[in-house]
Amino acid sequence: MSTTTSPAWEKADPGAHAADPRAMAFADAYPQRPIPTGRPVDDSSICAAPSTGLEALWQAVVPETRTRANDIHLPIVTAYATRLCEAYPQADRELVLVATALHDTGWAHVDESRIISEGFQGDWRKAAIRYEHEAEGCQVARRVLPELGYDAEFVDRVCEIIDGHDTRPVAFSLEDALVRDSDRLWRFDRAGIAMSTTWFGMDPAEYTDRLEREILPELITEAAVRMAEADLARSRALMRTEAIR
């Protein structure tokens, strides 16, 4: 085990959100957790399968990618989302990919000096700045998507996913679940570990232990669990966490 003794992350508490009709409908539609997939799951390194498409959207949000390593985070998370859509073809693929590409763009429109001090310390799930970045991300979506030809209903669905992707502990739809799982999957890849250990002030051994103990159980889909387990094993081996701890 890691020799560091920082407090455990606060667990996600479904609270009143679990009684939301959208959460209840989703739970009724997919009662088994993690949600099974009857399709093959690609759990090879995400580096082998970058996402494609959405060029106009990426170009529209270039300024938003220059904060909090979004130019690394967002493309990688979108690659994971693409894989999850292959495992769950019943999901609205375009909705998942667009919402994933935009989900953290709001970080560019909050007080950057507070991102690490509030958003990645203490009870970070409930930090005010996390709510702020979700609200700002919705504003980005409402600004750029109509200009790219998306209708109001689609924009509203994107914003429903963005608004709460960090702070609401339950998913409202399969698409919402795939965006959430994609966002968490990046933490298991070496790029996500390299960035997150800096943000959370942990060494790789402690951080990967935390991932296994506290984040892996939060994944909603079977495909995401299998991908996370494979990534975690590769990352631990690469970083020699069995020895460097």
Tell me what pLDDT residue 190 has: 96
Tell me what pLDDT residue 15 has: 65
Name residues of the chain where pLDDT drops below 50: 1-3, 9
pTM across the whole model: 0.91
Using CA atoms, how far apart are residues 33 and 36, in angstroms rounded to an integer?
7
Contact (Cβ atoms closer than 8 angstroms) between residue 126 and residue 206? no
Residue 24 lies in a domain: no
Q: At 103, which amino acid appears?
A: H
Tell me what pLDDT residue 9 has: 45
Residue 48 lies in a domain: no
Residue 233 lies in a domain: yes
Tell me what pLDDT residue 130 has: 86
Number of domains in the chain: 1
The two tokens of residue 126 are 């409930």
Contact (Cβ atoms closer than 8 angstroms) between residue 51 and residue 194? no
Spell 126-142 as b/e; 16+ CB within 10 A means b: ebebbbbbbebbbebbe
Residue 42 lies in a domain: no
Spell 201-217 as b/e; 16+ CB within 10 A means b: ebbbbbbbbbbeeebbe
Residue 22 lies in a domain: no
3-state SS, residue 221: strand
CATH of residue 218: 1.10.3210.10
Q: At 43, which amino acid appears?
A: D
DSSP class of residue 214 equals I
Q: At 46, which amino acid appears?
A: I
DSSP class of residue 16 equals G
Backbone Cα Rg of the chain: 17
Using CA atoms, how far apart are residues 220 and 132, in angstroms rounded to an integer?
25
3-state SS, residue 35: strand
DSSP class of residue 215 equals I
**Neighbouring C-alpha atoms within 13 Å toward the C-beta of 77:** 26
Tell me what pLDDT residue 124 has: 58
Picking from 46, 158, 37, the residue whose alpha carbon sits closest to that of residue 88 is 37
Per residue in 7-20, pLDDT tens? 554 555 666 688 99
Full residue range of the structural domain in which residue 142 is found: 63-239
